[in-house]
Amino acid sequence: MGTVKTPAVYRDLNINGHAAFFGMHPVVMGILHYRGYDEPESIDAFLHGSLADLHSPFLFEGMRKAVERIRKAIDDRERIGIFADSDLDGITSLALMYNLFSRMKIEPFLRYLKDDENYGITTDIIDEFKDNGITLIITVDSGTRDVAEIAYARSFGIDVIVTDHHEQDRELPDAIVINPKIAGSTYPFKNLAGVGVAFKLAHAILMSYLPSYNRAFLILYGDGEKYAVSFIRDCIIEKVECGIDPGRIKQVVCSAGPDDFILVHDEKAARAIRSECTGRNIHDYAGFIARIACRKASNIEEIQRTMSIKRKVYPDPIDLLNKIFMETYLAGSEKVRDYIDSVIGLVAIGSIADVISLTGENRILVRAGLENLGRTRHQALAMLINGEKIDSRFIGWTIAPLLNTPGRLGKTELAVKFFVEKDAAVLRNIISEIRGLNEERRMFVKEFCKTVMDNMDSGSQKSNERLIHIKTDRIPDGYAGLIANRIADVTGKPVIVTVLPGKNGVVKGSGRSRGGSLFFSHFGKFSERFERIGGHENAFGFTVQAEQVDEIVSLVTREMGEHPTRHDDGFEIDCEIDISCITPGFIKDLQLLEPYGNGNREPVFMVRSVVFEAFQQFGNNHGKYLLSDYNSLVAIGWGMGQKMKDLFETGRPIDLKFRLENNYFNGKVSPRMIIIDMNKTG
């Protein structure tokens, strides 16, 4: 049933102290500790991180050049083209950029993969851009490996800005490349989705139009004897100096430029510094922030309260002032706020659909996006959501598969229209068509995977101990990743699906793996044999000459044997708990760990030796155990009805592995266990 972490694991950690400080159940805090969030600063950032905690987009090396080039194109009324991959990460990126340019009264030329086109931008697509008078192309969720194609665009004088998150090849294209994974990138967070990178570009463009753009802000805090000062430009904290004397402060302030702002923590200190350094732009910090943020507040404590800043841990007072400044910068422009509000839900959908790690910046973006989707102004999304509870599970299991379906079938235009169309009647027809395609896709994949598993059992589908290679001419190219993913889930092995017969001797395929298997790295060692290959460690796509496929898979299989990588096989149980612990309040605390997903999986618990009072079977082989002594607690097993019945009828105690949720019905809330696995005790 998996690896159980006993309370002994947590014994030496300050769990109870942190639980009391943050107002959380000790078991929930224990889970955070075990996952590496065991210092007040990291716990606080995990629980209370906000959009103002995101890294400045200008930390990307190419960002200022990209912004300058786009602004030149806008000023000179050049035609701008946007190119996107066909998956949901790419299409939400395209929609996000389209939204931005539409607000500027610019109609960009949109191009995305469709029909049976291969991955990435092609020379034919470049010709389309050229024929439509495009002088600047922005790629989203693509472009890093399109070296020859971008060189072709450059030969016509077309400039290219690449926004992407895929691994690079040996060389980069002749373009302004914004990608946290390229060699030499110092951007602090490497795991953004393509839509996250596109969001960073859009945010940087908007920031460049603010009066504060490229102006320095010096924030001072001190008691007259010792000071701290931070230097901030375009939301980048360039440096912080602490414990410095008044002489050094005078030197710092007097060296500031005429356009720089000096913000001093209170008016008394500001007056004293003004008298020493005349002619400088010196302001009382609280008054300045209150004016910009339109707050009625006379001191820092009131500002923090009116801004509803939840963060609790600040190693030094200057850190609190920096945090308030960043919140003010984000909220200071109504146009920037409104744009972020209109697209942050798209960032969440694209990120979840691409199964990126929900840690760091991704956690902040996705959590903000999920909150936004509950009140979304996007017509089509509002029609789909229709009052449903919005969480990462709903997006990952319902919204993302639905909206990814058109791209998988070469009908990407449907997904694009879903995001950019304004007419409600047209949108209803689009949604109806997408739902029909999705149902066909769902049934086909289910039946095809069953056939594959039956063939593996009979031996007609070959499988070795290291990977499974499925070659088929029965599926659309876009289903390869879905099928590889499903078979990898069932078997636990890395899977390659190659779709035959291909086009002009070139076939497409996808690779998927589970856990910690570094699958893409093995294939990357033979990248020169592919026409194209790109993706992430556990999910990638490729095009290759058909006659090369078997040899490459053979080479990779050998490579995996000679250089085995880490692999996480089983289910991991976060904590063994007493059943009396399961209350609505405990589950509410547990929800502070959401959103769940890759890198932040939903906690799994275990109880031992439970004797349930009653069993009910319902629906299509579902089951429910009842235990009325504990808050009317029930345990639900989806698709597990027969097994639950058999165990119940033995009369013996049961060990359960489960996740937890609160069930809301008729105004009442009750806890319930969602069973993952169960066995007789002992």
Least confident of 66-80, 224-238, 278-292: 278-292
pLDDT of residue 563: 67
pLDDT band at 565 (very low <50, low <70, confident <90, very high): low
pTM of the model: 0.89
Distance CA 30, CA 8 (A): 11
| Radius of gyration of the CA atoms of the chain, in A | 28
Hunting for tokens 């400044």 — which residue is that?
Answer: 325
Distance CA 13, CA 34 (A): 9
- Tell me: the pLDDT tens digits for 77-125? 999 999 998 999 999 999 999 999 999 999 999 999 988 787 789 999 9
129: tokens are: 């851009």
598 phi, psi to nearest 5 deg: -55, 125
Task: Report the candidate in 548, 404, 564, 397 with the shortest Cα–Cα distance to residue 494.
Answer: 564
One-letter identity of residue 86: S
193: tokens are: 């989705």
Contact 677, 571 (CB under 8 A): yes
- Tell me: the pLDDT tens digits for 613-630? 999 999 888 999 998 666
- Tell me: the pLDDT tens digits for 529-541? 988 887 777 888 8
Task: Report the candidate in 483, 481, 427 with the shortest Cα–Cα distance to residue 455.
Answer: 483
Maximum pairwise Cα distance, the chain: 88
368 phi, psi to nearest 5 deg: -65, -40
**E strand map for 504-613:** 506-512, 532-536, 539-545, 572-573, 575-576, 605-610
More confident residue, 310 or 608: 608
